[in-house]
Amino acid sequence: MSDEKTIVCRCEEISFQTISDTVREYSCSSREVKLRTRAGMGYCGGRTCRHMIDTIVAGINQEPIADEIQLSYRPPARPLTFGVLGGMQHDNESR
């Protein structure tokens, strides 16, 4: 990635430069980058940027991406009524 101002996490508008500066300053993991910058904590829950953040951190730290605990992500959630949950009503937004 050549442009330091490239946005990596679109939801939280976190740039490549912010992530790389954070990794260099604190010698931190992807999870710590997430906690320090909020990258991966936006609306999509990190599904869009998670792999990119892992790759950037691994590249700066010169370590392969560990198979263990990488950035977690949450599925998008929205409120449901009990009627929809119980099958009594249809959720029109999901169709």
Residue ranges binding ligand FES (CB under 6 A): 9-12, 39-40, 42-44, 46, 48-49
| Sequence-separated (6 or more) residues with CB below 8 Å from residue 40 | 9, 12, 34, 46, 49, 50, 53, 71, 73
Minimum CB distance to ligand FES smaller for 28 or for 44: 44
Give the nearest distance from C-beta 70 to ligand FES in angstroms.
Answer: 14
CB of 91 to ligand FES, least distance (A): 24
Neighbours of 56 (CB within 10 A): 20
**Cα–Cα distance for residue pair 16/9, rounded to 1 Å:** 9
Q: Based on CB atoms, which residue is closest to ligand FES, 18 or 46?
A: 46
